[in-house]
């Protein structure tokens, strides 16, 4: 197994985006970590664990693929450079990037999803997860009659978007559920909930969601001004904690600069990276 630690990926990643070794050694390590986060969002520690798990779980000859191509793929998701930017900054043509990113590394990241996003068989508490829909803007899809496709209209952007449903454990740093994409103008939050997650909730357990999921009071606890202050605070903190994760993955610019067909590939790859981030480098706060 070809292993590289966080320090190796910190050096490799910064060299890749233009910080030569001499510039790296002139500043403190915290500064280099800030530089890395700017270009990759994920930390070097997260990238190193991802690299190790990809080698351990997937069957491919890692020696055939240069290690630089892997952190570049994460940079690609984070900044989503155009083809001209790729040629100017890295000297790589679009065909080369497609071969590395779309044919190899994004499918590798997606392949980690079944091992990292797993629905538990047992639940020790009554409140189990927070559920929230995340809208991502997309390029306007074509429509047979009109210039805009009303099925994809997102009220959050006043333009086309896709909706994904995410479920996060309230008491652990684990993402337990992802469902989507759904066309934002065609599916409300409660309709998306009915499409899959509702059947997964065990009897007697509750999830916390916002007011978009009203109508299922036996299994969904929504903000309620009539509740006691402690319960209101608990729900508020749980949803704020969930939105912290949403905010982290929204930093990846590929989620807002893509068409409908490849968006799920990008989203699931980014979601996997986000899971590794909260498990290894940036845990969510306690409720």
Interatomic CA distance for residues 9 and 14, integer angstroms: 8
pTM: 0.92
pLDDT at 254 over 80: yes
SS3 143: coil
What dihedral angle (degrees, nearest 10) is formed by the CA atoms of 254, 273, 127, 287?
-100
- Helix (H) / strand (E) containing 13: helix 6-16
CA-wise closest residue to 223 among 206, 212, 234, 235? 235
Q: Which residues contact 220 (CB under 8 A, 6 or more apart)?
A: 131, 193, 206, 207, 208, 209, 213, 214
Residue 146 has pLDDT above 80, yes or no: no
72-111 burial string, b = 16+ CB within 10 Å, else e?
Answer: bbbbbbbbbbeeeebeeebeeeeeebeebbeebbbebbbb
Q: What is the CATH number of domain 117-280?
A: 3.30.420
Q: With beta carbons less than 8 A apart as the criterion, state whether 76 and 97 touch.
A: yes
pLDDT at residue 39 is higher than 70: yes
| Nearby residues of 185 by Cβ (< 8 Å), 6 or more positions away | 149, 150, 151, 152, 153, 154
CA geometry: angle 36, 42, 44, nearest 5 deg: 60
The gap from C-alpha 154 to its chain's centroid, in whole angstroms, comes to 19
pLDDT tens track for 195-239? 999 999 999 999 999 998 988 889 999 998 888 999 999 999 999
Tokens 């903190």 locate to 237
What are 231's two structure tokens?
């319960």
Domain-wise residue ranges, the chain: 6-111, 117-280
pLDDT 10s digits, 58-113: 665 555 556 778 899 999 999 998 877 887 777 778 777 777 888 888 988 999 99
């Amino acid at each position: 197994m070809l292993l590289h630690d966080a320090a190796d990926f910190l050096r490799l990643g910064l060299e890749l985006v233009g910080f030569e070794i001499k510039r790296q050694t002139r500043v403190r390590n915290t500064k280099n970590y800030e530089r890395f986060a700017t270009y990759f969002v994920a930390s070097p520690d997260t990238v190193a664990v991802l690299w190790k798990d990809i080698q351990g779980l997937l069957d491919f000859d890692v020696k055939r693929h240069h290690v630089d191509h892997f952190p570049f793929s994460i940079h690609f998701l984070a900044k989503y450079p155009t083809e001209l930017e790729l040629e100017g900054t890295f000297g790589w043509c679009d065909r080369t990037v497609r071969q590395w990113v779309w044919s190899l590394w994004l499918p590798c990241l997606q392949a980690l999803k079944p091992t990292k996003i797993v629905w538990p068989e047992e639940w020790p508490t009554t409140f189990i997860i927070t559920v929230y829909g995340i809208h991502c803007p997309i390029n306007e899809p074509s429509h047979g009659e009109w210039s805009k496709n009303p099925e994809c209209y997102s009220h959050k952007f006043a333009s086309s978007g896709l909706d994904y449903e995410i479920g996060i454990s309230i008491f652990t740093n684990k993402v337990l559920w992802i469902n989507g994409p759904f066309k934002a103008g065609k599916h409300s939050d409660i309709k998306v909930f009915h499409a899959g997650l509702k059947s997964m909730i065990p009897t007697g357990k509750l999830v916390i969601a916002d007011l978009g999921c009203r109508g299922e009071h036996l299994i969904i606890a929504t903000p309620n001004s009539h509740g006691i202050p402690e319960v209101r605070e608990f729900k508020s903190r749980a949803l704020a904690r969930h939105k912290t994760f949403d905010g982290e993955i929204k930093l990846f610019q590929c989620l807002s600069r893509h068409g409908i067909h490849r968006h799920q590939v990008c989203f699931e790859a980014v979601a996997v990276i986000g899971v590794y981030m909260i498990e290894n480098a940036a845990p969510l706060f306690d409720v």
